Amino acid sequence: MNCTKSLNKVIRLKLISAGSILGFFLIWWLITDLLRETPNPLFPSPILVFQSFWEKLFNPRPDGQVLGVHILNSLMVVGLGYLTGIAVGIPFGILMGWFKKFDKMIKPLFDIVRTIPPIAWIPIFILWLGIGLVAKSAIVFLTVFIASVLNSYTGITNVNQVHIWVAQTFGASNWKTLWKVGIPTAAPMICTGLKIAFNTAWTSLVGAELLGATRGLGYMIQMARMYSRTDLVIVGMLTIGVIGLILSAGLDILEQALTRGKY
């Protein structure tokens, strides 16, 4: 009795949620299209946005590339920056957490660099490396590097001292202790870091593409703004959101697969 009641409630709430999304689009449509004599180009209707999305799949105007090319380009930049960032950042953070001398040497400098938000690095990277793939990947790299150093560092410094003593009592070398005790303990934290790093990477990517690029999703919305194509701006924003969501869901699955049974 109680069970069916709560089930009913869940279904009812799901229905309300569905209704909410429907209502959202309906109101959007009403105020931008249906209740207006002439549509205002600053507030495109959802139907127009969908049409623009469809058209942008095949039509390279006004910025010279179809949507697919922009997506691919953004993915390439973020992929390159992200993979190199974690490949360098995680070992760096682990070494920093494990070797106290190294930690004391590097941490203050690292802390100074860390306070500068990734977006503030964009001008200097553009000046150094131009507006190509390398500059944008470098910005993403830096963002990811900082995030993954922080998480692997925290993960390693949280290792239970008793576990280290046990390993030492059994005669493990320092490196072996790190390999068998330190890294497995830090693994879940490092995996969380992978996801945090991705979210910051995605933000930096959009920032970098807005400020200096010749293709990519950020460039697309920036161009759409210059041509006052609000519909295309919204298409670009939603694409950025959806792709970010898919990639971060993928990382969730990866995290679960990697750290299974280790908690």
Partner 1 sequence: MQKKAWTRDRSESILLGGGTILVFLLLWQLIVMLSGADFATPAEVFIYIFQHIVEPIGPYSIIGHVGWSLSRVAVGYLLAAVSGIVIGLAMAQWDVTNAIISPIFNILRPIPPIGWAPLAILWFGVDEAAKYFIIFIGAFVPFTMNTYVGANRVDPKLVDAALMLGTNPGQLFRKITFPAIVPQIFAGAQVALTNAWMTVLGAEMLRSTEGAGWVILKGMEMANIAQIISGMLVIGLTGFAIATIMRELEKKLIRWNARGR
Binding-site ranges for partner 1 (CB under 8 A): 9, 13-14, 16-18, 20-21, 24, 42, 101, 104-109, 112, 115-124, 126-127, 202-203, 206-207, 210-211, 218, 221-222, 224-225, 228, 230, 233-234, 236-238, 240-242, 244-245, 248
Residue 50 CB, nearest distance to partner 1 (Å)?
A: 14
CA-wise closest residue to 64 among 222, 214, 242: 214
What the block records as the tokens of 92 is 């760096």
Amino acid at position 99, single letter: F
Alpha carbon 239 to chain centroid, angstroms: 14
Least distance from partner 1 to the Cβ atom of residue 221, Å? 5
**C-beta closer to partner 1: residue 125 or 181:** 125
**Residue 66 gets which letter from DSSP?**
-
Q: How far is the CB of 181 from partner 1 (least distance, A)?
A: 23
Which CB, 57 or 124, lies closer to partner 1? Answer: 124
Q: How far apart are CA 33 and CA 44, in angstroms?
A: 8
Query: How many angstroms separate the CA atoms of 139 and 54, rounded?
Result: 31
* Rounded (10°) CA dihedral 55, 60, 63, 64: 180
Q: Which is nearer to partner 1, 164 or 224 (CB)?
A: 224
CB of residue 173 to partner 1, shortest distance in Å: 24
